[in-house]
Amino acid sequence: MKVTDLRIEYQENPLGLDVKKPRFSWKLISEEQNVLQTAYQIIVSKEKEKVWDSGKMESGSSVLLEYMGLELERQTKYDVQVKVWDNKGKQSSVEGSFETGLLKGSNFRAEWITHDFPAEETACPIFTKEFKAEKEIKSVRIYATALGVYEIKLNGEKVGDTYFAPGWTNYHKRLQYQTYQADELLQEKNRVEITVGNGWYKGIFGFTCTPNHYGDRVAALAEIHITYTDGTSQIIKTDDSWKVTTGSIRSSEIYMGETIDSCFTEPNFSDAVIFPFDKERIVGQESEPVRITKRMPALKSFTTPKVEKVIDFGQNLTGFVEVKVHGQIGQKITIRHAETLDKDGNFYSETLRQAVSIDQFICNGEEQTFRPHFTFHGFRYIAIEGLEEFELENFTACVLHTHMEETGTFTTSNALVNQLQSNIQWSQRGNFLDIPTDCPQRDERLGWTGDAQVFVGTAAYNHNVALFFSKWLHDLASEQTEEYGVPHVVPNILGNQEGAAAWSDAAVIIPWVVYETYGDERILEEQYESMKGWVDYITARCGTNGLWQTGFQYGDWLALDKEEGADRTGATDKYLVANAYYAYSANIVSKTASVLGKEEDKEQYEALYRKIKKAFNDEYLTATGRLVSETQTGCVLALHFDLAEERHRARILESLTKNIANHKNHLTTGFVGTPYLCHALSDNDEHDLAGTLFLKEDYPSWLYAIKKGATTIWERWNSILPNGDFDESGMNSLNHYAYGSIGEWMYKKLAGINQLEPGYKKIFIKPQFIKGITSVEANFQSVYGEIKSAWSCKESKIKIDVVIPANTTAVLYLPERKQAIEVGSGSYHYEYETETDLDRNRFSMDSTLKEILDEPLAVEILNQYAPDMINHPMIQFANHLSISEVLATAPGETETLFKLVIDTLNKTEITV
């Protein structure tokens, strides 16, 4: 047994930690089975003197154990040692460290500084100071923040590798600062420069593209702490002794792009101006920073029919382009960005709306590498102007997002499904840029609560999102009010709007998912008043029937079961949706109160949940179980949120399956119904139907976009129409993760990875087969270690491989076996004959004509017996229809022929 991967507040050896009672986590690795931790000891030391020794604790806990020692000092390094004992008589230890930051914003000794440039000045200010360091240096730490987004240079070198610091928070109440190590950058004579861009603070943002949402002048705050080897120290801090000028960044806006003029020189310096801003709002960096996480080479270049010079990077992504060039003095290179080409192959930037997303670089005659500083774009293609010829290797796409640890992988035998998983992951990367945005490309990029709420379950499989959502939820709570509830976007720049179901329920649902995924009780403690406050907000607005039936609601946003126009809310009664979520959130608050030991609250919200459930049944179901809205979403919510009385569930399920059949086995759900649709089917003995829906390739379906070449998730099921045209509603993002929420079902149902206890301390493995997929392999890096579930069903044989991490246990349900198997940690392999061979039963009268005609053997039979039919030009227009639908208008002999084809295919060895 080996103990490894020591984390302090989810991080490895964090720098600038501003947590008074940090928590420690570690993992056990062992090749033996059934390994459990029996005891641990945590020792925390400062300069080799213990500040806390937990003693040997007889416990199996190894996740998020709270520091209980002496009060931590600011700007201090602490060493951590963890010793672990297991049930096999083994012992192991691991070491790490953390360094505290300033611990609170009021500990900043520096002063805020700004400039007095005229209002029309668009260039980014550079605050600068020269200083000396005349002794031998031991360490250098920089503590900095800004109103805007900033970058620090010491002696011409960028400090750190992060972007868009200090991040986007509710500046009215909260502002993060960052800590940097700069030991190697200091010399005897030094020059520090802090460049500040408008960013989210002052920049053009929102639907109306207006500036100054938080202030009309950027500012900076920084301290450089130098510790010398002789024990003395020096602090360089922002004050009115600093100078301010402008540089090569002549303009920079997140929506509009950046202009860099490397020929520009500014000989004029003015004095920095002291700026008032409350330091009590300042908190340490709470989540991982934004970094360049991937560098992607250009895939190909071409000239469009409109004679545009275009480069394709092969992937819709979020970030910017790095350009290497040797241009002439004053030569201007312009780069425009777009997600896609139109059907004629021309550069298509309409999905950006007012966000022009243009970067301009002006050369100085030398070899140069350009890349923006304070803007990002959503793009796959760039159009280049100002270069007659260029080499592909001189263009690199830099992928930017919050640097979360990747925790999940999911692959199958189906290439389209694998591309879907890739699209989900890329949309998460592209939209988890400091906050969970809806889209990364157009004039929006806002922290929509509804999008984050429906996707959080999937997000938590793909990446470790504990810190990311903790930070964002702190802002959500800070924006929440008793009068308006939870805003629709966080941070809120849209103004006061009354809370709306499914969107504002993010306040309750997201903390609960984080708790279940990571076993993190602190997030429940921190968000508890916010969670309660949202449910209480709804309760205060209920009528005498105990239901919420007033105010604006999004309903089932962008659902297909209602003609779109001014109203995009779908056909499901919007207050049915609202009250389904009301009940769901009340139930979660009750469970949260139980976890936190608040028994009185637990009973109060449990009673409220029962009351809402009864009122829901009285209002929205008839005595025989007929729903007011027998839409797919209406039925799904009643089933998945367990709202319908047991006696009515069978009829609601029947209504759901009939609705799906009436739509030729296609979905019609929007943002609310889609996340739960396949779950509701799989959990109610309709898993095969869930699989049919999931693998549909024509519109509307998840795989339709894949077949149209998508590399990210679309905002709409038909963002690109079958004929290649685009949806022209003015709201058509091609990178919008909400419908990627199917990923949670893929991990939970197809791979079968579920948690029975918070943090996956106890694991539930139950993979489920569907026709059209013969193998699945998924890995999930939980807080205890790697969980793996892999299966294949081929040649009448089922093979299952499972890995359970040390210090956990699991319950396994093997496919086609009814008996549960309880196991401890270790690797397990199962192999047995199948009762139902997926390879040989994947074709039926419900198969589409295209699925049949994709098989050479089927074409051979049809050519032999009905060559006129197989060669008929109308065949291509019926490809999307099922065989049953084709036969509805065909002669009786045709039915016999297709039954022969299907029977022959199902008896023939087929590799899917």
Q: Which residues are catalytic?
A: 444, 715
Which amino acid, 370?
F
Note whether 791 and 753 are within 8 A (CB). Answer: no
| Partner residues linked to 37 by β-bridges | 86
Q: Which two tokens stand for residue 46?
A: 């400062």
What is the phi-psi region of residue 881: left when phi exceeds 0, alpha when psi lies from -120 to 50, beta otherwise? Answer: beta
Q: How many angstroms separate the Cα of 105 from the Cα of each of 17, 284, 328, 344?
A: 13, 8, 47, 55
∠ CA 872-873-874, nearest 5°, is 90
My answer on whether omega of the bond before 700 falls inside 30° of 0, hence cis, is yes
Note whether 578 and 553 are within 8 A (CB). Answer: yes
Helix (H) or strand (E) holding 197: strand 189-197
The per-residue b/e assignment along 329-342, b for 16 or more CB within 10 angstroms, e otherwise, is eebebbbbbbbbbb
What is d(CA 768, CA 682) in angstroms, rounded to the nearest whole number?
9
Which amino acid, 425?
Q
Q: Which two tokens stand for residue 124?
A: 């980014």
What is d(CA 826, CA 35) in angstroms, rounded to the nearest whole number?
8
For residue 202, give the nearest of 282, 115, 272 by alpha carbon: 115
Q: What does R_g of the chain's alpha carbons equal in angstroms? A: 29
Residues 6+ apart with CB under 8 A from 661: none
What is d(CA 367, CA 370) in angstroms, rounded to the nearest whole number?
10
Q: Which two tokens stand for residue 707?
A: 């077949």
What is d(CA 684, CA 534) in angstroms, rounded to the nearest whole number?
30
Residues 6+ apart with CB under 8 A from 254: 198, 199, 200, 203, 204, 205, 374, 375, 376, 445
**Strand-strand pairing, 408-412 and 775-782:** antiparallel
Q: Give the CB-side neighbour count of residue 274, counting CA atoms within 13 A.
A: 8
Note whether 548 and 541 are within 8 A (CB). Answer: yes
Backbone angles phi, psi at 252, to 5 degrees: -160, 120
Note whether 502 and 675 are within 8 A (CB). Answer: no
Question: Helix 521-539 vs helix 574-595: angle between axes, to the nearest 10 degrees?
Answer: 140
What is d(CA 281, CA 781) in angstroms, rounded to the nearest whole number?
35
Provide the 10 A C-beta neighbour count for residue 289. Answer: 18
Q: DSSP labels for 78-104?
A: EEEEEEEEETTS-EEEEEEEEEE--SS
The per-residue b/e assignment along 804-831, b for 16 or more CB within 10 angstroms, e otherwise, is bbbbbbbebbbbeeeeeeebbbbebeee
For residue 451, give the nearest of 671, 637, 710 by alpha carbon: 671
Q: Residue 658: helix, strand or coil by DSSP?
A: helix
Q: How many angstroms separate the Cα of 912 from the Cα of each of 158, 413, 694, 841?
A: 52, 7, 16, 11
